[in-house]
Amino acid sequence: MSEHDEAWFDEAAGPLVRPYAVTGGRTRSDNFGLDMMTLVVSMQPPSEAATLPTEYAKIVRLCQRPMSVAEVGAHVDLPLPVVKVLLSDLIEQNYVIFRRAAPPSEVPDQQVLQAVLDGIRKL
């Protein structure tokens, strides 16, 4: 075996199932407008996840505390579009709830934040 023909074993081989197979071929899920900063949290205890397919169960167990869609993707080691599809399925089945980040237009004005900080400092 030459230098270029090295054998891959276990984790080094990477995933054996393509990500689109995890979602049944679905690549988009715009039902809820999930983005990377959207927070998700499980509504079910980890024991309820036992009956779910592996990827769904892993997400339900992970989301026992609020976490962003990006964090979920990092933990389950799947592409973000796949994670969004899986999360959308879990939201539809009432396993997970979500809350979007405030749009930039709703972020408090810097002057208001400065006034609050000044008031706290006076305490």
Q: What is the pLDDT of residues 31-70, one digit of tens each?
A: 788 989 999 999 999 898 889 998 999 999 999 999 999 9
Closest alpha carbon to 78 in 37, 10, 9, 19: 19
CA pair distance 40, 62, nearest whole angstrom:
10
pLDDT band at 29 (very low <50, low <70, confident <90, very high): low
Average pLDDT over residues 78-101: 91
Tell me the C-alpha distance between 112 and 92, whole Å: 38
CB 98, CB 87: distance < 8 Å: yes
Give this prediction's pTM: 0.68
Q: Please give the order of strands across the beta sheet that includes 67-68.
A: 67-68, 39-42, 96-99
Q: How many residues in total does the chain contain?
A: 123
